[in-house]
Amino acid sequence: MKKIGITCYPTVGGSGIIATELGKLLAQQNYEVHFITSSLPFRLDCINPNIYYHEVTLTHYPVFQYPPYDLALAAKMAEVIEREELDILHVHYAMPHAISAILARDLASHDVKIVTTLHGTDITVLGFDKLFKRMITYGIENSDAVTAVSQGLVNQTKNHLHVKKDIEVIYNFVNEADYQKKERTFLKEHYQIKPNEKVIIHISNFRKVKRIGDVIDTFANINQSIPSKLIFAGDGPELQTAMEQVKKLQLEDQVIFLGKQKNISELLSIADLKLLMSEQESFGLVLLEAMACEVATIGTDVGGIPEVIKDGETGYIVDVGDAERASELALRLLNDEELLERFSKQARRRMEENFSSDTIISQYIQLYERLLR
């Protein structure tokens, strides 16, 4: 039985979701999986004899102004590599996880291969910080294999960091068993959504990069033409600004703020359209989740979004900041039941054909096997 270590950020976020779901599915395929994280990953909600969890604990010493998480992580990684005799250590994010993994590899007496998956923020944000740029490059170049969640992210990494390392595109995926359209009419009743109202949804961490204002402007235009409701799921620094904008536009009765939610597939099952108006997005996992639940999508022409949405077939692509065009295309869909139904079914089909868990997991397994030959 091959042994795989996985390190990720355990909190809510696309990279943590993918890493945890990957581990769960690998365990089902008879791999022994060891999660090495600062807390239990929030999606690690199953019991499987092939899954183990190793907590990274921080010790507070007066000599350190801040607890050295990256060093504590490296020490725990080295401990698990040696004791469990890991074959692969798969880390998600170059910074700090790849750096810690390289140090752990040097510390451990047992040989292990390091796979680093780039998810975006380590390149699109930290990669532009002069302090971290060389360190991220070092982490990529000294991994045994590197993957990225979109070709757009590969291009950005190569162009900005000038790395020589080959970077393989392995897309994100969703667990089809969890993400599928369900009958949830009672939720519409619970949220006081009328039968004739169309439901638009946005799910994010409400950071500035998500351009929540554009989502609201798009919805405001839609709402002028057809009865509709906007559901916001998530929380973050731009939430208060979004609430103020909704109040200014007198849309309080049409916009529902739910905060962080776990059962996203339930909400997507009552949605007609998903909006993602980001100015930066390495993949856009929420788009894939929506497509799995047969929801048409509109997203911006940035990063990996055009690799997920098939423009004119599963949804539409618009320029960043073009809320007017987004609302025009949204109305085209929402006013044509036949077109909306076709886009919805094609969205699910595209997910199954290009981003299924079986397809993506097999690509990771092939990568592991190549490294271990």
pLDDT tens per residue, range 269-315: 999 999 999 999 999 999 999 999 999 999 999 999 999 999 999 99
**Domain 185-354 CATH (choose: 3.40.50.2000, 3.30.390.50, 3.40.190.10, 3.30.70.890):** 3.40.50.2000
Q: How far apart are CA 345 and CA 365, in angstroms?
A: 30
Q: Is the pLDDT of residue 64 over 80?
A: no
* Bridge partners for 228 per DSSP: 198
Give mean pLDDT, residues 79-87. 98
Cβ 257 vs Cβ 278: under 8 Å: no
Contacts of 219 (CB under 8 A, 6+ apart): 200, 228, 230, 251, 254, 255, 275, 327
Q: pLDDT category, 124, cuts 50, 70, 90?
A: low
**Amino acid 133: pLDDT:** 86
Q: What is the pLDDT of residues 316-350, one digit of tens each?
A: 999 999 999 999 999 999 999 999 999 999 999 99
pTM value > 0.85? yes
Q: What is the identity of the amino acid at 337?
A: E
Long-range contacts of 163-166 (CB under 8 A, 24+ apart): 163/137, 165/140, 165/141
Q: State the architecture of 3-173+356-372 in CATH terms.
A: 3-Layer(aba) Sandwich (3.40)
Confidence label for 193 from pLDDT (cuts 50, 70 and 90): very high
pLDDT at residue number 210 = 97
Average pLDDT of every residue of the chain? 94
- Which residues of the chain does CATH 3.40.50.2000 include? 3-173+356-372, 185-354
**Is residue 233 helix, strand or coil?**
strand
How much is the pLDDT for 300?
A: 98
Q: Where are the alpha helices (DSSP H) in the chain?
A: 14-28, 69-84, 99-107, 121-124, 130-141, 151-161, 185-190, 212-225, 239-248, 264-268, 285-292, 305-308, 323-334, 337-354, 357-372
Burial of 282 (0-12, 13-18, 19+ CB in 10 A): buried
152-186 confidence digits (pLDDT tens)? 999 999 998 899 999 999 999 998 888 999 999 89
Does 26 score more than 70 pLDDT? yes
Q: In the predicted model, is pLDDT for residue 28 greater than 70?
A: yes
Return the sign of the alpha-carbon dihedral for residues 261, 125, 364, 29: negative
pLDDT at 126 over 70: no
Neighbours of 226 (CB within 10 A): 13
Percent of the chain with pLDDT over 90: 83
Indicate if the pLDDT at residue 127 is higher than 60: no
Q: Give me the helix-helix angle, 285-292 and 14-28, nearest 10°.
A: 60
Task: Give residue 46's identity as a one-letter amino acid code.
Answer: C
What was the pLDDT predicted at 298?
98
Phi, psi of 107 (to 5 degrees): -75, -35
Sign of the Cα pseudo-torsion (265, 271, 273, 275, in order): negative
- Tell me the H-state helices in 40-98: 69-84
- Orientation angle between helical segments 357-372 and 14-28, nearest 10 degrees: 80
